[in-house]
Structure 1
Amino acid sequence: MPLLITAAAVVLLIFLISKCKVNTFISLVIVSALAGIAFGIPLPKLPNTLEAGMGGTLGHIALIFGLGAMLGRVIADAGGAQRISMTLIDKFGEKKIQWAIVVASFIVGIALFFEVGLVLLIPIVFTISRQMKVAPIYLGFPMLASLLATHCFLPPHPGPTVIAGEYGADMGSVLLYGILIAIPTVIITGPIFTKIVKGYMPGVFEKAGDITGLGDPKFFTDEEMPGFGISILTAMLPVILMIFATVANIARDIGHLESPLLLEIVNFLGNPSIAMLVSIIFAIYVLSLRRGTPIKEVMNSCSKAIASIGMMLLIIGGGGIFKQILITGGVGTYIASMFHGTSISPILFAWTVAAILRISLGSATVAALSTAGLVVPVLATADANLALVTLATGAGSTIASHVNDAGFWMVKEYFGLSLKETFATWTVLSTIASISGLVFVLVLDMFV
């Protein structure tokens, strides 16, 4: 019965979102309440369960998520993202232009969420493609590969941030391992995949694309943009702080760091919330105030950043509600009992569940959160590296982007592809990224 109720809840969720076009957050709350009743949760207890799911999820990630959105917006509005992109493109040169796009998109993608990074970088990609007389998709695949990898593997992006909190994984370890996994994944799904597509779908390299729907993108002059070094430092600062804390803890464990006070300071600065707070303060000063931008203008950028992610926060909270209903309803415990005594890998289990839910629901974040409700009880009885299970969940939640995913339509429209071409390229790219991520997680699991 627990599995049947869960399956019925997922089908109803798909029906409400895809067929009835009901808002995703509202759909999640409705389905969660009905599933709670079906699971036999007492009616007086049900509202508290819904609230606990919402608060438990957002209470952990809202600060990181909100400050991360502000950081990306401040960097973009100051011209830092454009400086990073244009400098790398200039340094790599025409023959290695794809690798320039890969590196630039990866760095910018750390600070910007997928949709925001796509909207910001795609005008640059189209401008460079016109100058070099190549198809936009030739540079678009490397850009999409980098943005997708940072989105599914690296905090402060919503998927890995939320799942790390739900599993109790160390955020710094998730970030460090995530970078190790993301780099080869991007190489495979970016430049290498582009060459493969030329063989079986050459027609996409004749498409001119259309980004008129983005309006007139803002391009900065050289004088208006901050320096390359300070732009890189600002975008990478939260990553540097979190990884530094992780390395310091590793050094402590092997006996090479004996200063408790130094370790406390490093861990404090490397805490994800504090790292994001330090980074946004640093960005506001060096990219804006020091260069003469009025504080009111900077704060307007921060306000717009929060407004743009408001619905995403609610959807994440709604996913947390659904996750909590699954846990309270005993689904996770039931599944854990089914696998008790078996040798199934928690990494494979998490990836499989996330992949199935991603294909069904469309939203990578909702799929990852729903997976947590099923996997958390299993982790209690298994010996697994929580950071790697987090990354496996993130990899599974990005598989097979198709018509129920907003990213699918953005790629289709901006690059001027047909439905068939989008399935044969973007859907395949996201699937390869998911499978590659799983393979590299399993390889890493043999060494850590």
Structure 2
Amino acid sequence: MPLIILAIGILALFFLIVRVKLNSFLALLLVAGLVGLAEGMSIDALIPTIEKGLGGTLGGLAIVVSFGAMLGKLMAESGGAQRIATTLINVFGRENVKWAVCLTGFIVGIALFYEIGFVLLIPLVFTIAAEAKIPLLEVGIPMAAALSVTHGFLPPHPGPTAISIIYNADIGTTLLYGIIIAIPTAIVAGPLYCRFAKDINPEIPESLYNPKIFKDNEMPGFGISVFTALVPVVLMAASAVAKLTMGEDLFIRHVLTFLGQPDMALTISVAIAIYTFGLSRGKSMESVMKTVQDAVLAIAMILLIVGAGGALKQVLIDSGVGAYIGTLVAGSDLSPLLLAWLVAAVIRTACGSATVAALTAGGIAAPICAATGASPELMVLATGAGSLIFSPPNDPGFWLFKEFFGLTVKETVRTWCALETIIAIMGLAGVLTINLFIG
């Protein structure tokens, strides 16, 4: 019965948004409430659960998305994004720039959660698409695919690192296997798959992109533009490395951990951008602050929609749907690797969050891993791959991709959900292939 209720809830969500044209934020909250009640939650617990999900999602993302939007807006309106875009286009050529974006997303994504990397790179995606005069998704899909692959497969990204700890896997070996799987997966789900979405060509959102074409002498240099854009990436990567290589008693580890927290890293980067992209370019503080204000106004509704996706996710978790499905799947006689992938996949479909799916599946499959002698490192990757599948509309990432690229629900399923499913299936295939050689 819980699965039937979940399916009806997802169909109702599609109906409200696609047919009724109800605002996505309102539709998500309405469906979250109805599904929660239908799954047996008490009326007293429903609102606190919705608040917990919405607040928990925005608590982790509000500063990051807002500061990321500020950094992107400052970079775009100073000409910094155009400088980076034109340089990449000149080096790689217009036909190959999607490969450059894919590589950039791969590097950035190793240190950052998907949502953070997405917000940091989206202004660059808009500018490259406009400069190269190519469809927006031809650049956007490779970027999103690369970020998602690192989210599922590569330590020191927080997700795979946490799963490695659950399975007691060697992080270095996990990283090696992960890279072997991640590179071809990112290529197929990104630069190759985007060819199948050529008929979907959304406009670049006017509120998030400055179409002004800068002259060469009006733009900051390539070096300072890249430096400012990568400050948060470097700080977060340094933090991840410090946690892996330094003892907990070392003061420098605590400093790097503090500076590498996403909120802190982006605060520092915005402070630097105010100078490099604003004051040093001859702009007044008043003008710079107007840019900052416009950036936040442009992403306000996106934040609410992402938060509502988190509310639906929390309702499904607190009502026990995710645990119920995981228990059902865990009772079957399957290969430990396939079982870990399948448990993560069904929990991901049920509750939306890739991180929740991966950690929950890890807890369920860890005893099976120990009992069967399966490779802990491959169990990590199988779990990470399964946790990425489909990305249903109860995943905040679904709405992040949809809203920033201005897509319909149907177009989001054809692009975002499809590339996530490709990553999940190729990840499983890669795990099973490696297992043939080491098993």
Q: Give the TM-score of the pair, scaled to structure 2.
A: 0.71
Match of 2:418 among 427, 431, 446: 431
What is the match of residue 142 of structure 2?
146
SS in 1 for 2:44: coil
Superposed displacement of residue 89, structure 1: 2.3
What is the match of residue 122 of structure 1?
129
The answer as to whether partners of 2:70 and 2:291 remain within 8 angstroms in 1 is yes
Match of 1:382 among 365, 369, 373: 365
What is the match of residue 65 of structure 2?
65
Superposed displacement of residue 26, structure 1: 0.7
CA distance in 2, matches of 1:278, 1:213: 27
SS in 2 for 1:339: helix
Question: Which residue identity does 2:37 align to in structure 1?
Answer: I
Cα separation, partners in 2 of 1:186 and 1:324, compared to 1, 3 Å: closer
What is the match of residue 211 of structure 2?
217
Superposed displacement of residue 271, structure 1: 1.4
Cα separation, partners in 2 of 1:228 and 1:245, compared to 1, 3 Å: same
CA distance in 2, matches of 1:50, 1:294: 42
SS in 2 for 1:44: helix
Q: Superposed, which structure 2 residues align to 1:276-425 within 5 Å? A: 276-342=266-332, 343=336, 344-351=338-345, 354=348, 368-369=352-353, 377-383=360-366, 393-394=387-388, 396-397=390-391, 406=402
Question: Which residue identity does 1:330 align to in structure 2?
Answer: G
The answer as to whether partners of 2:75 and 2:81 remain within 8 angstroms in 1 is yes
CA distance in 2, matches of 1:312, 1:53: 16
Match of 1:235 among 206, 219, 229: 229
Identical-pair percentage: 30
SS in 2 for 1:218: coil
What is the match of residue 360 of structure 1?
none
Is 2:86 aligned against 1:99? no
CA distance in 1, matches of 2:13, 2:299: 22
Cα separation, partners in 2 of 1:192 and 1:281, compared to 1, 3 Å: same
The answer as to whether partners of 1:395 and 1:433 remain within 8 angstroms in 2 is yes
Cα separation, partners in 2 of 1:83 and 1:17, compared to 1, 3 Å: same
What is the match of residue 160 of structure 1?
none
Superposed displacement of residue 224, structure 1: 1.0
CA distance in 1, matches of 2:302, 2:49: 21
Cα separation, partners in 2 of 1:121 and 1:263, compared to 1, 3 Å: same
> Structure 1: which 4+ aligned runs deviate by more than 6 Å?
167-170, 209-213, 371-375, 384-388, 444-447
Superposed displacement of residue 225, structure 1: 0.6
Superposed displacement of residue 301, structure 1: 1.6
The answer as to whether partners of 2:142 and 2:191 remain within 8 angstroms in 1 is no
Q: Give the TM-score of the pair, scaled to structure 1.
A: 0.69
The answer as to whether partners of 1:105 and 1:121 remain within 8 angstroms in 2 is no
SS in 2 for 1:10: helix
Superposed displacement of residue 396, structure 1: 3.3
CA distance in 2, matches of 1:294, 1:51: 40
Superposed displacement of residue 393, structure 1: 3.8
What is the match of residue 111 of structure 2?
none
CA offset digits 1:253-284 (Å, max 9, x no partner): xxxx6870111111111112211111111111
CA offset digits 1:48-87 (Å, max 9, x no partner): 2221221122112212122112111111111111101112
CA distance in 2, matches of 1:330, 1:293: 54
SS in 1 for 2:272: helix
Question: Which residue identity does 1:149 align to in structure 2?
Answer: A
Q: Which moved more, 1:319-328 or 1:77-86?
A: 319-328
What is the match of residue 254 of structure 2?
264
CA distance in 2, matches of 1:141, 1:50: 33
Q: Which moved more, 1:239-248 or 1:374-383?
A: 374-383
CA distance in 1, matches of 2:182, 2:68: 19
CA distance in 2, matches of 1:168, 1:270: 21
SS in 2 for 1:310: helix
CA distance in 1, matches of 2:205, 2:260: 40
The answer as to whether partners of 1:80 and 1:228 remain within 8 angstroms in 2 is yes
The answer as to whether partners of 1:332 and 1:376 remain within 8 angstroms in 2 is no
Q: Superposed, which structure 2 residues align to 1:243-262 within 5 Å? A: 243-252=237-246, 260-262=250-252
Q: Which runs of 5+ in 2 are unaligned?
A: 109-116, 152-157, 166-170, 367-375
The answer as to whether partners of 2:65 and 2:119 remain within 8 angstroms in 1 is no
What is the match of residue 75 of structure 2?
75
The answer as to whether partners of 1:243 and 1:270 remain within 8 angstroms in 2 is yes
Question: Which residue identity does 1:21 align to in structure 2?
Answer: K
Superposed displacement of residue 285, structure 1: 1.5
C-alpha RMSD over aligned residues: 4.4
Q: Which runs of 5+ in 1 are unaligned?
A: 127-135, 156-162, 358-366, 413-418
CA distance in 1, matches of 2:431, 2:225: 31
What is the match of residue 158 of structure 1?
none
Question: Which residue identity does 2:237 align to in structure 1?
Answer: I
